[in-house]
Amino acid sequence: MYSEYPADFHIHTCLSPCAEDEMIPVNILNMAKLIGTRIIGICDHNSAANVKPFLEIASEYEILVLPGMEVQSAEEVHMLCFFENLSGALEWQEYVYQHLPQIDNNPRYFGHQWLVD
Protein backbone atom coordinates (compact mmCIF):
# COMPACT_ATOMS: atom_id res chain seq x y z
CA MET A 1 0.00 0.00 0.00
CA TYR A 2 1.25 3.45 -0.77
CA SER A 3 0.24 6.97 0.21
CA GLU A 4 -0.16 10.03 -1.97
CA TYR A 5 1.22 13.39 -0.90
CA PRO A 6 0.42 16.48 -2.96
CA ALA A 7 3.70 18.24 -3.70
CA ASP A 8 5.22 21.17 -5.56
CA PHE A 9 8.95 20.72 -6.09
CA HIS A 10 9.61 24.00 -7.91
CA ILE A 11 8.86 27.02 -5.73
CA HIS A 12 10.82 30.27 -6.01
CA THR A 13 11.02 32.77 -3.17
CA CYS A 14 11.46 36.53 -3.34
CA LEU A 15 15.18 35.86 -3.89
CA SER A 16 14.59 34.73 -7.48
CA PRO A 17 14.10 37.46 -10.08
CA CYS A 18 11.07 35.65 -11.54
CA ALA A 19 9.19 35.67 -8.21
CA GLU A 20 7.09 38.37 -6.63
CA ASP A 21 8.29 40.25 -3.55
CA GLU A 22 5.43 38.64 -1.60
CA MET A 23 6.93 35.14 -1.98
CA ILE A 24 8.08 34.94 1.65
CA PRO A 25 7.94 31.88 3.91
CA VAL A 26 4.68 32.68 5.70
CA ASN A 27 2.83 33.43 2.45
CA ILE A 28 4.14 30.38 0.60
CA LEU A 29 3.49 27.99 3.50
CA ASN A 30 0.01 29.42 4.13
CA MET A 31 -0.94 28.96 0.47
CA ALA A 32 0.52 25.46 0.35
CA LYS A 33 -1.52 24.48 3.42
CA LEU A 34 -4.65 26.13 2.02
CA ILE A 35 -4.51 24.12 -1.22
CA GLY A 36 -3.47 20.89 0.49
CA THR A 37 0.16 20.68 -0.58
CA ARG A 38 2.13 18.52 1.87
CA ILE A 39 5.65 18.74 0.41
CA ILE A 40 7.39 21.73 -1.18
CA GLY A 41 10.81 22.21 -2.73
CA ILE A 42 12.34 25.65 -2.34
CA CYS A 43 14.43 26.18 -5.49
CA ASP A 44 15.71 29.69 -6.07
CA HIS A 45 17.99 30.46 -8.98
CA ASN A 46 21.59 29.47 -8.12
CA SER A 47 21.03 29.96 -4.37
CA ALA A 48 19.76 28.22 -1.25
CA ALA A 49 20.02 31.36 0.87
CA ASN A 50 16.27 31.53 1.63
CA VAL A 51 15.78 27.86 2.55
CA LYS A 52 16.58 28.14 6.29
CA PRO A 53 13.55 30.27 7.30
CA PHE A 54 11.23 27.79 5.57
CA LEU A 55 12.76 24.87 7.45
CA GLU A 56 12.45 26.76 10.75
CA ILE A 57 8.67 27.21 10.55
CA ALA A 58 7.44 24.47 8.21
CA SER A 59 6.38 22.15 11.05
CA GLU A 60 3.84 24.76 12.17
CA TYR A 61 2.11 24.20 8.81
CA GLU A 62 2.60 20.41 8.73
CA ILE A 63 4.53 20.76 5.48
CA LEU A 64 7.78 19.03 4.55
CA VAL A 65 10.27 21.42 2.96
CA LEU A 66 12.95 20.02 0.68
CA PRO A 67 16.08 22.19 0.52
CA GLY A 68 16.82 22.83 -3.12
CA MET A 69 18.26 25.07 -5.77
CA GLU A 70 17.59 25.69 -9.44
CA VAL A 71 20.98 25.67 -11.14
CA GLN A 72 21.57 26.87 -14.67
CA SER A 73 24.24 25.08 -16.69
CA ALA A 74 26.56 26.67 -19.24
CA GLU A 75 24.20 25.29 -21.88
CA GLU A 76 21.33 27.20 -20.21
CA VAL A 77 19.66 24.05 -18.94
CA HIS A 78 17.86 24.56 -15.62
CA MET A 79 18.21 21.68 -13.14
CA LEU A 80 16.41 21.27 -9.84
CA CYS A 81 18.87 20.01 -7.22
CA PHE A 82 17.61 18.70 -3.87
CA PHE A 83 19.53 17.99 -0.68
CA GLU A 84 19.00 15.91 2.46
CA ASN A 85 19.58 18.91 4.69
CA LEU A 86 20.36 22.62 4.77
CA SER A 87 24.11 22.14 5.17
CA GLY A 88 24.28 20.13 1.94
CA ALA A 89 22.35 22.85 0.10
CA LEU A 90 24.58 25.61 1.48
CA GLU A 91 27.73 23.66 0.63
CA TRP A 92 26.53 23.31 -2.98
CA GLN A 93 25.57 26.99 -2.96
CA GLU A 94 29.17 27.95 -2.16
CA TYR A 95 30.40 25.85 -5.09
CA VAL A 96 27.87 27.49 -7.41
CA TYR A 97 28.74 30.99 -6.15
CA GLN A 98 32.44 30.35 -6.89
CA HIS A 99 31.56 29.63 -10.52
CA LEU A 100 29.06 32.41 -11.22
CA PRO A 101 30.17 35.57 -13.01
CA GLN A 102 30.69 38.44 -10.57
CA ILE A 103 27.85 40.69 -11.75
CA ASP A 104 25.75 42.83 -9.42
CA ASN A 105 21.98 42.53 -9.70
CA ASN A 106 20.30 45.36 -11.57
CA PRO A 107 16.76 45.60 -10.09
CA ARG A 108 15.64 47.59 -13.12
CA TYR A 109 16.07 44.48 -15.29
CA PHE A 110 15.83 41.59 -12.85
CA GLY A 111 13.73 42.99 -10.01
CA HIS A 112 14.69 42.88 -6.37
CA GLN A 113 16.29 39.77 -4.96
CA TRP A 114 15.36 39.64 -1.28
CA LEU A 115 16.93 37.55 1.48
CA VAL A 116 14.53 36.62 4.28
CA ASP A 117 15.22 35.64 7.87
Which residue ranges make up each domain of the chain?
7-110
The answer to whether domain 7-110 has CATH 3.20.20.140 is: yes
How far is the C-alpha of 104 from the C-alpha of 92, rounded, in Å? 21
Backbone φ and ψ for 30, nearest 5 degrees, come out as -60, -45
What whole-number distance in Å separates Cα of residue 33 and Cα of residue 73? Answer: 33
* Whole-model pTM over 0.85: yes
Which amino acid does the sequence have at 97?
Answer: Y
> How confident is the model over 14-69, as pLDDT tens digits?
999 889 999 999 999 999 999 999 999 999 999 999 999 999 999 999 999 999 99
CB–CB of 93/105 below 8 Å? Answer: no
